[in-house]
Amino acid sequence: MILLSLLLTSFVLTCAEVDSQDYCYAKGQSCSTETPRDEKFVLYDVNPPEGFNLRRDVYMRFAIMMSEAKKHERRQNWNLVLPPWFNLYHWKTADSNKPVPWSMFFDVESLKAFAPVVELFELFSKTKRKYLEIDRLYVLQNFPDAFENGVFDDKWEIDRNCDYSGSFWGYKNITVKETICVKYQGQISKLWELISLHSADKYVMFAHGEIPLHDYYGSKTFWDCRKSMKFNKNLINKAKKFIYEKLDCNENQCNTYISVHWRRQDFARARISEVPSLLGTAIQIDKAIKKYHSTIDYIFIASDAQNSELIQLEHQLKHLGYKVHFYIPSKLDLEQFSDGGIAIIDQIICSHAAYFIGTHESTFTFRIQEEREILGFKSSTTFNRLCPDTGKCSEPSKWTIVD
């Protein structure tokens, strides 16, 4: 009898809990003090000279921060605005002076399944005003000495002077109520301390979004976010078609070709001690194939090198008996995908190769390595680098997947 009454009480209690929740929903509001309609937005911008692939990592830091916010009742109404791709330094062809939405390169539905993100144009269509007024723009800056007293502490400090070096992606109708300069170092989640300084703010922006660091680089959440960064379908299809037609493979893990990311331009000029010469590149590729995949004779090369250099490298490798492939976009491809899309197609093709050799400390290479981890390649086929012709050649860092 006692047991039965105990059971009954707990049954009644459970019902009561369900009831009170239903009540909140029925009244069209969540149980928190704020209504779900009171949406708030974080915008961010990155140091203008930074390239596409570092920006992809900065996105992950913010996306993880916003996805984690969903676990806090009082942060649930925050969204992240995807900063348009604008005026990228490495994009030489096409009209790069127009802001490009993320859907051009990524599967935005997939991004949204990981974190509450919106494209800037979606936000525009939500605002009824003629301009978008940002409540607070925090311009982040590094501390002059990151290791004050010998330690790297997470900290921030309001500063007096600074400039916003960006241009709001070229939009003249974005304005700012107040700009605040902040010296900042450490994990990105500390940005909530800044946000809470003005709790009524609806639009908050951070300039120099590359300064805050990942809370946990390489964690499971990191990889969940990374997996959600699927590319736009048209880019995937284009790359797969090339792999099928030119490299004779119809699977995710190909055994018909090896791939190389041969970063040149500024790397060949300013990082002489880390990258090989043209001839040195050919010799190293040949050695790696002989050692690991002596039956393969297809080589795919992704590069930002000038045509004249590519022709020479191709010549060297052909001389050694290989069949060399580049993805050379037609005029139409270039119009459809733009420089940014072409680079992604190069990355996808590199990702599916039996064996990959990258360039030391290139974020373009890092993103290919992550993609290969997601595709399930053995790490030994992925974390390989081109070495300088002479001198030290350190092992590449291995960031392996956490499922």
Which residues are tagged catalytic?
Answer: 50
- Least separation in angstroms between residue 344's CB and ligand GDP is 8
Contact mark string toward ligand GDP, 219..258, x via CB under 6 A: ----------------------------------------
Q: Report what 293 binds from ligand GDP, Mg ion, ligand NAG, none; CB cut-off 5-8 Å by kind.
A: none
Q: Does 169 bind ligand NAG (CB under 6 A)?
A: no
Which of these, 246, 295, 271, lies nearest to 359 by C-alpha position?
271
Closer residue to ligand GDP, CB minimum distance, 263 or 325: 263
Tell me if 216 sits within 8 A of 208, measured CB to CB: no
Amino acid identity, position 197: L
- Least separation in angstroms between residue 171's CB and ligand NAG is 5
Backbone angle region of 260, left / alpha / beta, with phi > 0 → left and psi within -120 to 50 → alpha: beta
d(CA 38, CA 43): 17
Q: Does 271 bind Mg ion (CB under 5 A)?
A: no
Contact mark string toward ligand GDP, 39..78, x via CB under 6 A: ------------xxxx------------------------
Q: Does 127 bind ligand NAG (CB under 6 A)?
A: yes
**Rounded to the nearest 5°, which phi and psi values hold at 80?**
-110, 130
How many helices and strands in the chain, by DSSP H and E? 12, 11
Alpha-helix runs per DSSP H in 172-324: 191-195, 220-228, 233-247, 266-270, 278-292, 307-319
Which of these, 73, 70, 82, lies nearest to 111 by C-alpha position?
82
Q: Report what 173 binds from ligand GDP, Mg ion, ligand NAG, none; CB cut-off 5-8 Å by kind.
A: ligand NAG
Q: Does 124 bind ligand NAG (CB under 6 A)?
A: yes
Q: Report what 187 binds from Mg ion, ligand GDP, ligand NAG, none; CB cut-off 5-8 Å by kind.
A: none
Q: Does 130 bind ligand NAG (CB under 6 A)?
A: yes
Q: Does 343 bind ligand GDP (CB under 6 A)?
A: yes
- Can you tell me which of 34, 39, 47, 51 binds Mg ion, judged by CB under 5 A? 51
- Least separation in angstroms between residue 18's CB and ligand GDP is 51
Long-range contacts of 17-23 (CB under 8 A, 24+ apart): none
Q: Is 271 in a helix, a strand, or coil?
A: coil
d(CA 229, CA 107): 7
Q: Report what 132 binds from Mg ion, ligand NAG, ligand GDP, none; CB cut-off 5-8 Å by kind.
A: ligand NAG
d(CA 59, CA 68): 14
CA dihedral 343, 243, 253, 400 (to 10 degrees): -10
Contacts of 124 (CB under 8 A, 6+ apart): 132
Q: Does 274 bind ligand GDP (CB under 6 A)?
A: no
d(CA 311, CA 294): 24
Q: Does 303 bind ligand GDP (CB under 6 A)?
A: yes
Q: Report what 131 binds from ligand NAG, Mg ion, ligand GDP, none; CB cut-off 5-8 Å by kind.
A: ligand NAG
Q: Does 173 bind ligand NAG (CB under 6 A)?
A: yes
Q: Does 371 bind ligand GDP (CB under 6 A)?
A: no
Tell me if 111 sits within 8 A of 102, measured CB to CB: yes
Q: What residues make contact with Mg ion under the rule CB under 5 A?
A: 51
Q: What residues make contact with ligand NAG under the rule CB under 6 A?
A: 124, 127, 130-132, 171, 173
